[in-house]
Amino acid sequence: MNKTLLICLITIAVMLTVQSLSAKPFSVNPLLKSALVPGWGQVSIDRNYGYGMITSEVLLWSALFYHNTEQDLKDQESYEFALKFAHINPGSYSSQYYRDLAKYDTSGFEAGGYNAMVRQTAINLYPDNYAMQQAYIDEHAIPDEMAWTWDSYQLRKTYSTTRKEILELKDRAQLITGLIIANHVLSSIDMLRLKKHWGTVQPSFSLYRDTPVLNLRVDF
């Protein structure tokens, strides 16, 4: 969903660039305005509640930026915490690895370790087939280069709490992204409702330094 929002921003930037290079400034279709910036189209036809939509858009983007920034900071914080207290090797790991790191005191085959869980699962799945047990263990066990051992249970719980906070930030960021998209959709639908107030749209083309330019004129 964030890619969709990025496309919206790029589109706005392109339009502003074209306008700045045009010999004559152009007017933008009110529906397009509201699709790009909720409330912009409404304001352009003197519907002052559009300012509320614009304000909502600014607040939502600010909240999204905050949550994404906090998530990045806590990601780095939890990684450095694991380096110091779980003694993982520096590197890039999957989300599943970090979830397992928060759940098990050690990655080893000792009681309570992640690999001990893998071995027990293999035994349960293939109780009479040692070869299949070993194949399962080889496929799912944590290798030595990805091993960890927490210095204490409490330190692992502290790490686990931070990882939960990261997931909560991610969930809220996704919710905010959905609200931003909904704001664009609702603003566009509202402009369709107000279509009779747009005026007449008159497209035309012109040349500026041998470059074709599309001009949109809206008469109210």
If phi > 0 it is left, if psi is from -120 to 50 it is alpha, else beta; for residue 24 that is beta
Q: Tokens in use for 166?
A: 């990261």
- Say yes or no to pLDDT of 24 above 50: no
Which of 24 and 175 is assigned the larger pLDDT?
175
- Say yes or no to pLDDT of 20 above 60: no
Say how far apart CA 106 and CA 147 lie, in whole Å. 8
Q: Considering only 12-16, 93-97, 98-102, 167-171, which range has the smallest mean pLDDT?
A: 12-16
- pLDDT band, very low/low/confident/very high, at 192 (cuts 50, 70, 90): confident
- Say yes or no to pLDDT of 212 above 70: no
Mean pLDDT score, 162-187: 94
Give the H/E segment covering residue 181.
Answer: helix 153-193
Residue type, 48: N
- Say yes or no to pLDDT of 84 above 70: yes
Q: How high is the pLDDT of residue 220?
A: 44
Say how far apart CA 82 and CA 93 lie, in whole Å. 12
Is the four-CA dihedral 156, 159, 165, 170 of positive or negative sign? negative
Residue in this structure with the two tokens 């369709």, named with its chain if needed: 192
Contacts of the segment 45-50: beta carbons below 8 A, 24+ positions apart: 45/194, 45/197, 45/198, 45/199, 45/220, 47/194, 50/187
Which of 211 and 205 is assigned the larger pLDDT?
211
The counts of H helices and E strands in the chain are 8, 2
Q: How high is the pLDDT of residue 217?
A: 53
Say how far apart CA 107 and CA 116 lie, in whole Å. 8
Work out the number of other CB atoms within 10 angstroms of the CB of residue 134: 13
DSSP state of 109: S
- pLDDT band, very low/low/confident/very high, at 88 (cuts 50, 70, 90): very high
Contacts of the segment 66-72: beta carbons below 8 A, 24+ positions apart: 67/169, 67/170, 67/172, 67/173, 67/176, 68/173, 70/169, 71/166, 71/169, 71/170, 71/173
Q: How high is the pLDDT of residue 6?
A: 55
Q: Going by DSSP bridges, is the β-strand pair 200-208/211-219 parallel, antiparallel, or unpaired?
A: antiparallel
- Say yes or no to pLDDT of 147 above 70: yes
Say how far apart CA 4 and CA 31 lie, in whole Å. 18
Say how far apart CA 102 and CA 20 lie, in whole Å. 53
Q: How high is the pLDDT of residue 46?
A: 87
Q: How high is the pLDDT of residue 213?
A: 54
- Say yes or no to pLDDT of 131 above 60: yes
Q: How high is the pLDDT of residue 2?
A: 56
- pLDDT band, very low/low/confident/very high, at 160 (cuts 50, 70, 90): very high
Q: How high is the pLDDT of residue 26?
A: 43
Whole-structure pTM over 0.75, yes or no?
Answer: no
Judge whether 150 and 177 are in contact, CB under 8 Å. no
Q: How high is the pLDDT of residue 7?
A: 54
